[in-house]
């Protein structure tokens, strides 16, 4: 009886992805893609900050053309890296490095860092590129 219960519960848990019918929002964490375009929306909010970025058809990387939802972290976490509620505003030009979504269809990406006009990098969190020391604030 107990084994049957356990089996049933495991089956039910595994069924969740099927029930949900959507793909997970998992990002291609090993891919760093540069998105350069115009900010449509800058949503400084919890649980995630979102930058909606429109990349025009003349872009250097054709796979980045379109309007993207680039998701950052919580406001406190981004704030500690130097982000503020007015770092970007609609109409600004922005250059963002992010990890695109795995499914290759949905135009969503996980923000890694922004390259500011002065060349400085604004990271979303303490994570740094491979080889660089991390955790130094």
Nearest to 57 by CA among 40, 42, 38, 71: 38
Question: For residues 60 and 105, which CB has a smaller minimum distance to other proteins in the complex?
Answer: 105
Instruction: Catalogue the long-range contacts made by 111-116 (C-beta closer than 8 Å, 24 or more residues apart).
Output: 111/49, 111/51, 111/70, 111/71, 111/72, 111/73, 112/32, 114/87, 115/34
- Residues in contact with other proteins by CB under 8 A are 5, 8-9, 12-13, 16-17, 19-26, 28-30, 44-47, 69, 71, 73-77, 79-80, 85, 101-102, 106, 108, 125-127, 130, 133-135
Question: For residues 66 and 79, which CB has a smaller minimum distance to other proteins in the complex?
Answer: 79
Q: Least CB distance from residue 54 to other proteins, whole Å?
A: 17
Q: Least CB distance from residue 34 to other proteins, whole Å?
A: 20
Q: Least CB distance from residue 6 to other proteins, whole Å?
A: 10
Largest interatomic CA distance in the chain: 66
């Amino acid at each position: 009886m107990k084994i049957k219960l356990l089996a049933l519960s495991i089956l039910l848990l595994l069924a969740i992805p099927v029930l949900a019918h959507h793909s997970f929002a998992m990002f291609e964490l090993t891919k760093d893609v540069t998105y350069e375009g115009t900010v449509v929306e800058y949503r400084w909010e919890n649980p995630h900050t979102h930058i909606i970025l429109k990349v025009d058809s003349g872009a250097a990387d054709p796979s980045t053309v379109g309007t993207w939802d680039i998701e950052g972290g919580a406001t406190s976490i981004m704030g500690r890296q130097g982000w503020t509620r007015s770092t970007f505003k609609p109409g600004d030009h922005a250059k963002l490095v992010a990890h695109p979504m795995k499914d290759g269809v949905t135009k969503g990406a996980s923000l890694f860092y922004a390259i500011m006009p002065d060349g400085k990098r604004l990271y979303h969190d303490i994570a740094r590129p491979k080889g660089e020391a991390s955790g130094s604030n």
